[in-house]
Amino acid sequence: MGRTGPRDDEHPASHLLTGKVLDTSAILDIAARRSLYGQALVDTALRDGSLLSVPAAALMEAWAGVDPTIAGQAPLVLLRALPVVMVEHLDGETAEAVGAMAAHQSAPASGVAHAVYVARRRGWTIVTRDPDAVIALDPQAAFEPLP
C-alpha cells in the first residue's frame, strides 16, 4: 500500500515550498550569530514562509559543538522551535544511505553527509561554512557558502 501523506519528518507543505538545508556549520553560525547572513537567512524564512531543513545528524553535531550551559544551548533550542524549521529525522534507511555516502571520505562528517542527502532528496540548496566538505560528498550539490 502506498503512502497517502507526508512522512513524519516532512513538513506538510515541503513539496510546495522552497527552502534551504543547514549543515552543522550553518547551524552553529546561526546559533552563535557569527554572521549577518545567517541571521538574514532566518529572518527571510520567517518573513517569506520558506523552510529551513535541519538534518538530525547536523543538529546533533551542533549540540556537541556548543557550550554545554543554558546560554550556549538556548540558541539551538530557539532555532529548532521556529515554525519554519523542519528537523529531518535519521531513521534506519536514511542512516544507511548517509553512512554509505560518507564512507568514502577520509574524515566523514555525518552532519554534512545528512545535509547532502536531504538536499538531494528535496532539490534544495545547502547552506555551509565548509563548501569543500559538501563538494567532496557531491560535486554537483548546490550550496551557498557562509561568508
Q: Where are the domains of the chain?
A: 19-135
pLDDT value, residue 16: 57
pTM of the model: 0.85
Residue 81 grid cell: 522551535
Tell which residue, 111, 110, 112, has the closest CA to residue 138.
112
Helix, strand, or coil (residue 88): strand
Architecture of domain 19-135: 3-Layer(aba) Sandwich (3.40)
pLDDT value, residue 79: 92
pLDDT value, residue 69: 82
pLDDT value, residue 106: 65
Helix, strand, or coil (residue 9): coil
Task: Tell me the mean pLDDT per 10 residues along the chain, length 147.
Answer: 38 65 95 90 94 96 88 90 95 91 75 95 95 93 94
